[in-house]
Chain A
Amino acid sequence: AQTIHQWPVAEIKAVGSPLSLGCTIKGKSSPNLYWYWQATGGTLQQLFYSITVGQVESVVQLNLSASRPKDDQFILSTEKLLLSHSGFYLCAWSLPGGLYEQYFGPGTRLTVL
């Protein structure tokens, strides 16, 4: 069975500090991977997607970057956090080869002060 893990569970960070959020998927080879973000009271927005190692496409510009260093790992990061980065970050996966049903991780709640 596939499992998706996100870390950390929650983070409180200062404006201007760096950030790294992680996501790993076990039990599925070469999945498509996605990052989503939801501001408090806002709609969930897709940020990035990746269909293969080393390849990441941006959907929404939020002064964030993403990388896929391994087949089963997806990293979301920034060197300088903004207040507007606060919210809930979700990682998702789907089967490779096309657009299929997406399955979501448990999420990371980020508070920027």
Chain B
Amino acid sequence: GDQVEQSPSALSLHEGTGSALRCNFTTTMRAVQWFRKNSRGSLINLFYLASGTKENGRLKSAFDSKERYSTLHIRDAQLEDSGTYFCAAESSGSWQLIFGSGTQLTVMP
């Protein structure tokens, strides 16, 4: 079935640096969402993209449906950015939102 492959599973950054998370899709997806897990385990919405790129503060996301991937870039990482980040993609032709396995981000002083 449709799958979402998220990488890396874990990422360590020093404060002030940046990196990117990536999700690859095994099939064409209609849109992608990026979330961050909160302290209770629920999800905070970061981005929703049907195409192109969006930016919010130090976060920037891109989605390329044709090339079947999405990225989440974090720049100037801060300690409070630590946490688990998920991508999820809408499968074309269905009502299903398929989640990646998550990236555990640790920002170090």
Contacts and interface: CB of A to CB of B under 8 A. Distances in A.
A99 B32 CA distance: 11
B72 to A, nearest CB: 16
A102 B42 contact: no
Given A99-B30, A101-B33, A57 B41 contact: no
Contacts of A74: none
Contacts of A105: 42
Interface string B70-95: 00000000000000001010100001
A34 B97 contact: yes
A45 B41 contact: no
A99 B40 contact: no
Contact of A102 (B30, B41, B97, B101): B97
Nearest to B43: A104
Interface in A45-81: 45-46, 49, 51, 57, 59
A99 B42 contact: no
Interface residues of B, number: 21
Interface residues of A, number: 22
Nearest to B94: A59
Interface of B: 30-31, 33, 35, 40-43, 45, 48, 86, 88, 90, 95-102
Interface of A: 32, 34, 43-46, 49, 51, 57, 59, 88, 90, 99-107, 109
24 contacts: A32-B95, A34-B97, A43-B99, A43-B101, A43-B102, A44-B86, A44-B99, A45-B99, A46-B96, A49-B96, A57-B95, A90-B42, A99-B31, A99-B95, A100-B48, A101-B48, A103-B45, A104-B35, A104-B42, A104-B43, A106-B40, A106-B42, A107-B41, A109-B41
